Amino acid sequence: MNLTEYLFTRLRELGVDHTFGIPGDFVLPVYAVQDAFGMPTVVCSHEPGVGFAADGYARIKGLGVALVTYGAGALNLLNPVACAYAEQSPLLVISGGPEVAMRRPEVYLHHVVKSFESQINVFREVTVDAAILDDVADAPEVIDRVLRNVISQKRPGYLEIPRDRVHSIVAAPIGPIAADPFAPVVHEAALEEAIIEIRAMLAKAERPALYVGVGVRRHGLTAKVVELAERLRLPVATDVLGKASFPESHPQFAGVYMGALGDQQARALLDGSDCVISLGVLRFDTNTGFWTDRIDPSTLIAAEPDLLRVRHHRYDRVPIDRVVEELARLPADSRRPQPRFAHPADSPVVAAEPGSALKVAEIIGLLLGLDQSLYSFVADVGDCWFIGLELRADVFLAPGYYASMGFGIPGALGAGVADPSRRPFALVGDGAFQMTGTELATMVDAGLRPIVLLLNNNSYGMLEALDSPRTYYHRRPWDYLGFARSLGFTAERATTAGELRFALDRAEAAEGPYLIEATVARNDLSPFLSRIKAHLAEVKKAAVVLG
Amino acid sequence: MNLTEYLFTRLRELGVDHTFGIPGDFVLPVYAVQDAFGMPTVVCSHEPGVGFAADGYARIKGLGVALVTYGAGALNLLNPVACAYAEQSPLLVISGGPEVAMRRPEVYLHHVVKSFESQINVFREVTVDAAILDDVADAPEVIDRVLRNVISQKRPGYLEIPRDRVHSIVAAPIGPIAADPFAPVVHEAALEEAIIEIRAMLAKAERPALYVGVGVRRHGLTAKVVELAERLRLPVATDVLGKASFPESHPQFAGVYMGALGDQQARALLDGSDCVISLGVLRFDTNTGFWTDRIDPSTLIAAEPDLLRVRHHRYDRVPIDRVVEELARLPADSRRPQPRFAHPADSPVVAAEPGSALKVAEIIGLLLGLDQSLYSFVADVGDCWFIGLELRADVFLAPGYYASMGFGIPGALGAGVADPSRRPFALVGDGAFQMTGTELATMVDAGLRPIVLLLNNNSYGMLEALDSPRTYYHRRPWDYLGFARSLGFTAERATTAGELRFALDRAEAAEGPYLIEATVARNDLSPFLSRIKAHLAEVKKAAVVLG
């Protein structure tokens, strides 16, 4: 087989059924091989959409692939790859490249910037492993190495295939990708000691709680963590980035923690706990409600991918999957009742005057009324994201750390291709929609039937909420219905709660893709954003901390 | 004044009246200062559009500025900046950045990738100078240095302003930006010797010719080169990237040279010349018709920005502007008649059966019939670009080297803002339009009245022309008229030459922005692309050389 077939053979073994990309001259030979191999590419409208779609796919399937040309293709993908790096998403970039024979200082080719290495230098800044497959002899080994690093570290990788290496003959893979011979071995004695310590802490704790982060989803530990929570009767909160890493319809789920600024039930749970077990949580500015988290560090147990922190000491080479496995084997705790939190959908939605303008609270209420198990929810950045944090979702994707606008529509495309059993449900604001909304067309091309809820407040509303009105926050309203229809969607507008309820009914019943433009007043904010705004105003740091 | 005011003061001195950008939290303090300073930002739909618009502006005004947030903003701008680097366009990126006080290894902030240096490391690969303005003491000096390098080298630069440095007090500028004390001094003796040598070569030459490249436009030498051409009675061709660096309505202009594959009159001129004076030409794959250029190196004089090559030797520290100046002073040559080439608009357009499908040859004929002096023509990549090469334009922008699709619409936006005296006229294919077509909305917001000619062949037609039909080259036709109308354009479709003629009449008469979708058969190629296709088929290298 040739080098390219080797790569696609490996990708298929790892569960990849589609790539996302845009063809261009330097990558055409790779496309032709892939086509003959029988793996389709979802051809997107623009490379930023390629990257977010492949990222969305990766977050669900465990690996996503972007297949692009050199220069104008790959460099246009950088921001989504940076997002995937920050948020630990296993996204592989495959770029075509100039022939090895042409890589000479005196040869100038189109799509090249400073040097033939400019592109890989750029990608080294946003990947865990990057290689040019210029040496046929070691190409299979290098492919395996990059894939292993992407899969194990849950972060992007980069492979560049020079045009004169696409068809180079290599040996077919023998067996699965070998483990890294230099990988640290699990420290079993440390693990044992740690579990004994944790068990003692739990035995003394009166208000223990689980704090679930994105690492649980990325390492495929969700089912195990449910088992653990049920067995030990622990109430559960997630962080913002890890939302839906624990199934949110579960009665033990309290809400999304974001320090003082997130769900208040989750805040009371974690800040009031005397033993928090944190699993795969990243600690950064927005995730902690701008460092308003008050989890007691002297009672905190924190599992990270490769180590475990307990109070003020750490156990090295004790990985999160083994910790979860061992904790789920502890004897069931019968001292406490099984925790149970009310589902917010059971509370009545804020009543409004019939015909009065649609309120954010009403939107949240109506979304909570949907059968959440039917959908992969995907949120963009803006108040649509904070609205999304109120859902009780099984699948919820959002760029909750890197916070790049433009993720929503292409992310929902990737989610829809990755899991056809759930309809993608995108929550997107008008500012973000103006960035990557054209990928609606790709959703149509891919045969998906998403529901897109476009929350239109005619502005970069989150920025305005945290600053003050400025002309440059205004977004002229496009004819979004005409826009969506021009790309193949059915579309309607909702300006009241009643209209939105019926629009959602029609969208749910629709055979095809459906967009609802919901108009929102600029000063009508979600509970999360309201708390953030109040906090930042209070500390008088709005200009410094978040704009 | 503060550091940010200092920067905008310098930018205004250098002729910048607008920036292009999208606000985001890390850059909001810069936006606020800029707003108070009185320089508006053209807020675009998406950062790739920001970059191309600022590049288009730079190509006309001599400096363009993109103003974006950290991470999700700046990294989404990389491809246009790489394009500007390759094509020698003076584009300055100003990015907001995290506070210097926050740049500690243990602090994790949203929008950050690997480290606080990831972003500047990326931009070092695509700029001539890049700096973080973290040290107030030397900030004015650093700003001046970066601007000087951008302006003198005609390539992008990068400035990052940490949020806690935006308002830092610095001294106001005293006088213009100082010259670089380390810049090489012109070698006057070498220049004198070179001019004597060139004069002798010209005296002996029977068929001398001028070959004008993009350097002439970038260094502001167009008027001087016209003087030179007229005085020495030299016929003129440009290269592809340098198109319109010499006014193409001039009777001495022969056409766009691209080796054997470009304009055949230009080919005969340069390949048949016994003394070619090449000014600011870059030699790369597509520009040379894939190295089918046959200019005799033993009679070639080539001026580059900082040196002059004559036959097989070179004169260092002899810059292009001085060479042009000296050549324009040579005694007028009266041995030869003033060269005169027919204007292609004087030849009748290929006649077609009334009502038969629109042909590319007819499109070219109709475009040549427009008063070219009214427009800044901007072409995207695809056959629209090769069609554009047939025009006789005064202003023509296209990514003729880096060849990134998506330039057309935002590039025309930048051109329109830079020079309101000319209407932007964008030539764009359906594939490229699907990438950045939403910037139509920004053109409307900016009050421009562009004409957009969308050439729709339902495919990435150039790729298909150079390869063979593949499902992944197909582009589903959007309802482009509905799309354009949803953003504020008047739009109509032309399927015959007659319809296109009347559509162009209406577009020219329109008070507002106008889009014409011209349908083109997939196998109907421009003369340039036909020749490229034939050449690549002939050398049986299509798969290796261009896909």
Q: At what angle do helices A408-418 and A47-61 cross, to 10 degrees?
A: 40
Count residue pairs from A and B with Cβ separation < 8 A: 242
Q: Using the beta-carbon criterion (under 8 Å), do B486 and A487 form an inter-chain contact?
A: no
Kindly report the nearest CA distance between residue A204 and chain B, in angstroms: 31
Query: Which residues of chain B have a CB within 8 Å of the CB of A164?
Result: 544
Mutate to test the interface with A, among B122, B258, B385, B546 (most CBs of A within 10 A): B122
pLDDT, tens digit, 9 for 90 and up, residues B273-288? 999 999 999 999 999 9
Kindly report the nearest CA distance between residue B203 and chain A, in angstroms: 32
Query: Which residues of chain A have a CB within 8 Å of the CB of B82?
Result: 71-72, 75, 113, 118
Q: Using the beta-carbon criterion (under 8 Å), do A485 and B479 form an inter-chain contact?
A: yes
Integer-rounded Cα radius of gyration of chain B: 24
Q: Using the beta-carbon criterion (under 8 Å), do A86 and B406 form an inter-chain contact?
A: no
* Model confidence band, residue B546 (pLDDT cutoffs 50, 70, 90): very low
pLDDT, tens digit, 9 for 90 and up, residues B439-464? 999 999 999 999 999 999 999 999 99
The CATH superfamily label for domain A3-162 reads Thiamin diphosphate (ThDP)-binding fold, Pyr/PP domains (3.40.50.970)
Q: What is the DSSP string of A83-117?
A: HHHHTT--EEEEEEE--GGG--TT---TT--SSTT
Considering only the beta carbons, identify the residue of B41, B72, B441 that sits closest to A403.
B72
Could you tell me what percent of chain A has a pLDDT over 70? 98
**A532 token code pair:** 């953030």
Query: Which residues of chain B have a CB within 8 Å of the CB of A476?
Result: 441, 444-445, 488
Kindly report the nearest CA distance between residue B349 and chain A, in angstroms: 32
Q: Using the beta-carbon criterion (under 8 Å), do B29 and A547 form an inter-chain contact?
A: yes
What whole-number distance in Å separates Cα of residue A195 and Cα of residue A212? 18
Q: Using the beta-carbon criterion (under 8 Å), do A46 and B435 form an inter-chain contact?
A: yes
Please state whether beta strands B490-494 and B514-519 pair in parallel, antiparallel, or not at all (unpaired): parallel
Secondary structure (3-state) at B41: strand
What whole-number distance in Å separates Cα of residue A63 and Cα of residue A283? 24
User: CB within 8 A of B353, min separation 6: which ones?
Assistant: none
When mean pLDDT is compared across A347-361, A446-460, A508-522, B275-289, the lowest value belongs to: A347-361
What whole-number distance in Å separates Cα of residue A492 and Cα of residue A517? 6
What whole-number distance in Å separates Cα of residue A19 and Cα of residue A65? 5
| Most confident of the ranges A111-120, B101-110, B264-273 | B264-273
How far CA B127 is from CA of A52, A185, B85, B87, B130, in Å, comes to 26, 43, 6, 12, 7
How far CA A308 is from CA of A303, A312, A413, A429, in Å, comes to 5, 11, 36, 39
Domain ranges across chain B:
3-162, 188-327, 348-545
Mean pLDDT of B289-311: 96
**A301 token code pair:** 């147990």
Q: Kind and range of the H or E element at A518?
A: strand A514-519
Considering only the beta carbons, identify the residue of A31, A71, A125 that sits closest to B114.
A125
Kindly report the nearest CA distance between residue A288 and chain B, in angstroms: 11
Strand locations in B294-374 (E): 300-303, 307-310, 313-316
- With CA atoms as reference, the chain B residue closest to A163 would be B544
User: CB within 8 A of A141, min separation 6: which ones?
Assistant: none
Query: Which residues of chain A have a CB within 8 Å of the CB of B404?
Result: 71-72, 76, 111
pLDDT, tens digit, 9 for 90 and up, residues B322-332? 999 999 999 98
Mean pLDDT of B512-533: 96
Alpha-helical (H) ranges within B338-392 are 360-368, 383-388
Classify residue A133 by burial, with Cβ atoms within 10 Å: 0-12, 13-18, 19+.
buried
Secondary structure (3-state) at B269: helix
When mean pLDDT is compared across A242-251, A352-361, B269-278, B306-315, the lowest value belongs to: A352-361
Considering only the beta carbons, identify the residue of B76, B114, B285 that sits closest to A48.
B76
Q: Closest Cα to residue A500, out of A459, A444, A458, A454?
A: A454
pLDDT of residue A60: 97
Indicate the average pLDDT of chain A. 95
Mutate to test the interface with A, among B404, B459, B460 (most CBs of A within 10 A): B404
- Comparing A112 with A298, the larger pLDDT belongs to A298
CB–CB of A345/A369 below 8 Å?
A: yes
Secondary structure (3-state) at A291: coil
Q: Using the beta-carbon criterion (under 8 Å), do B403 and A110 form an inter-chain contact?
A: yes
* Model confidence band, residue B350 (pLDDT cutoffs 50, 70, 90): low
Do A3-162 and A188-327 have matching folds? yes
Mark A310-336 as b/e (b = at least 16 C-beta within 10 Å): beeeebebbbbbbbbebbbeeeeeeee
Q: Kind and range of the H or E element at B442?
A: helix B440-445
For chain B, the straight-line distance linking the first and the last C-alpha, in angstroms and rounded, comes to 54
What whole-number distance in Å separates Cα of residue B19 and Cα of residue B53? 9
What whole-number distance in Å separates Cα of residue B149 and Cα of residue B141? 12
Kindly report the nearest CA distance between residue B418 and chain A, in angstroms: 19
What whole-number distance in Å separates Cα of residue A140 and Cα of residue A135? 10
Considering only the beta carbons, identify the residue of B25, B434, B482 that sits closest to A438.
B434
Query: Which residues of chain A have a CB within 8 Å of the CB of B434?
Result: 45-46, 438, 441
Mutate to test the interface with A, among B55, B448, B456, B486 (most CBs of A within 10 A): B486
Q: Closest Cα to residue B166, out of A467, A474, A547?
A: A547
pLDDT of residue B323: 98
Whether the per-residue pLDDT at B242 is higher than 50: the answer is yes
Q: Kind and range of the H or E element at B212?
A: strand B208-212
Residue type, B546: L
* Model confidence band, residue B184 (pLDDT cutoffs 50, 70, 90): confident
Kindly report the nearest CA distance between residue A346 and chain B, in angstroms: 34
| B544: DSSP letter | H
pLDDT of residue A541: 55
* Model confidence band, residue A547 (pLDDT cutoffs 50, 70, 90): very low
Mutate to test the interface with A, among B79, B115, B155 (most CBs of A within 10 A): B79
Alpha-helical (H) ranges within A391-545 are 408-418, 430-436, 440-445, 461-466, 480-486, 497-509, 527-538, 542-545
pLDDT, tens digit, 9 for 90 and up, residues B45-76? 999 999 999 999 999 999 999 999 999 999 99
Task: Pick A188-327's CATH classification: 3.40.50.620, 3.40.50.720, 2.60.120.10, 3.40.50.1220.
Answer: 3.40.50.1220
Mark B433-442 as b/e (b = at least 16 C-beta within 10 Å): bbbbbbbbbb
Considering only the beta carbons, identify the residue of B28, B72, B479 that sits closest to A486.
B479
Q: Using the beta-carbon criterion (under 8 Å), do B126 and A108 form an inter-chain contact?
A: no
pLDDT of residue A290: 93
Kindly report the nearest CA distance between residue B434 and chain A, in angstroms: 5
Whether the per-residue pLDDT at A462 is higher than 80: the answer is yes
Q: How far is C-alpha B282 from the geometric centre of its chain's CA atoms?
A: 13
Q: Closest Cα to residue B470, out of A95, A111, A24?
A: A24
The domain B348-545: what is its CATH number? 3.40.50.970
pLDDT of residue A544: 47
CB–CB of A268/A294 below 8 Å?
A: no
Whether the per-residue pLDDT at B384 is higher than 60: the answer is yes
pLDDT, tens digit, 9 for 90 and up, residues A68-106? 999 999 999 999 999 999 999 999 999 999 999 999 988
* Model confidence band, residue B19 (pLDDT cutoffs 50, 70, 90): very high
The domain A344-545: what is its CATH number? 3.40.50.970
Considering only the beta carbons, identify the residue of B108, B118, B466 that sits closest to A126.
B118
